[in-house]
Structure 1
Amino acid sequence: MAKKHGDFNQKIDYVFKVVLIGDSAVGKSQLLARFARNEFSLDSKATIGVEFQTRTLNIDHKTVKAQIWDTAGQERYRAVTSAYYRGAVGAMLVYDMTKRQSFDHVARWLEELRCHADKNIVIMLIGNKSDLSTLRAVPTEDAKEFAQRENLFFLETSALESINVESAFLTVLTEIYRVISKKALVANEESNSNGNSSLLKGTNIAIPLEKPAGNTSACCMSS
């Protein structure tokens, strides 16, 4: 079970970069504030530039620093660039369940993400503002079907009421850890078979997510 870690002097085993994407005003910054600092601001204003917050947790007895990046207003100018996605191993694709248009744009955001990010990035589709159930414009089944079709994790959240926010982030971070750990295990086994057993001893190695072979298609262009 992952827990917030209070000992900041302990060695960090992994740093995972996770990006928040989606239309303006869907609650990305509020989700970040709730997860990183357990805060929520009713008078939150759109900020310009890229922001990130960190939170350190224990996952499977390893110390993991989650570095969560927020577009912070860039999306309204369509200026989200490849630099924002670079190095990301997880993504939270957020829509507002009271605004159908924000859900209709999810496919576009997913296309952009897959163009710029690693092919094996772990993605969570989030329907935010579940506390406004009487204003629901996106049926849960619609989002579930999209997530299943695109092989995404899915949860409905409320940053305001702190519902499923922790679960959403921890699901993504735990899945990233599983992917990275599997790569490290394979690399270690291969090194041992070659008579070199020192590869993972006492070193903090960044294991890149594997890209599928044969995928040489040209990347799409952002609109």
Structure 2
Amino acid sequence: VRDIQQAGESTAKQATALLQECDKLQRVKETVRITNQQKLETARAELQEMEKTMEKNVGRRKQRAGEEGTPWLSCLTLLLFWCTASCPSQEEREKTEEKQKVILEEVDEKARAELEAVVQKIVEETLQHQDGLKQLVINNHILRYKILRQKEVVNDLEEETGELKRSIQTLQQSVRESRELLFADVLLPRPKCTPDTEVILTIPTEEKQL
């Protein structure tokens, strides 16, 4: 029985630890997702702002290039190409998001697999000790029945003891009454003699003739 209890406690501790670990992984995953989402939104906003700025600068440079000549247009074209190459494209951002999604799915799958393994272990250990658990339940029922039976026996003994005490008291009363009847002159109560009680002595004045 002790081995079964220890095995159950050990399995419960392992399950609790795994659930806590899964909860930590979920929180880490959510934190990573929020952080990446924030970074992605920030990068998109910066890219949009950069594109707007570049469009304005290119427009102004084109206008000035038309007035001053083509060298400025070539420089601006080269600068635009460099900025476009250094900034992540939509396809690259989608690939990055896809990689992050794959990593998060792998974390979820790992946590799920570990949880299923612990559950399976609990089931196997439960089935392994099933006979012992059944016997433990049966023994508990038998012990409970014996305890109830002993309580009934104790109650019966208490009732018998009470009846016996009453019988003894009745017998003692009968013996006392019988003694008083047999030895009434000795056992019957007489008036008490106090210092103020008058005592009359009867003394014969004549001697009896023999």
Q: TM-score, normalised by structure 1?
A: 0.22
**Rg: which structure is higher?**
2
**Higher-strand-fraction structure:** 1
